[in-house]
Amino acid sequence: MFYLKTKEKKEVDFVITREGKPIQFIEIKLSDNKISQSLKYFSERFKDVESIQLVHNLLQNETVNNINILKAGEWLSGLSV
Query: Which residue segment(s) compose the domain that 21 sits in?
Result: 2-77
Q: Contact 63/51 with Cβ under 8 angstroms?
A: no
Q: Based on the structure, what is the number of domains in the chain?
A: 1
Distance, CA of 31 to CA of 42 (rounded, Å)? 21
Contact (Cβ atoms closer than 8 angstroms) between residue 6 and residue 18: no
Output the pLDDT for position 35: 94
* Confidence bin at 4 (pLDDT 50/70/90): confident
Q: What is the pLDDT of residues 18-70, one digit of tens each?
A: 999 999 999 999 998 899 999 999 999 999 999 999 999 999 999 999 999 99
Closest Cα to residue 50, out of 38, 68, 35?
Answer: 68
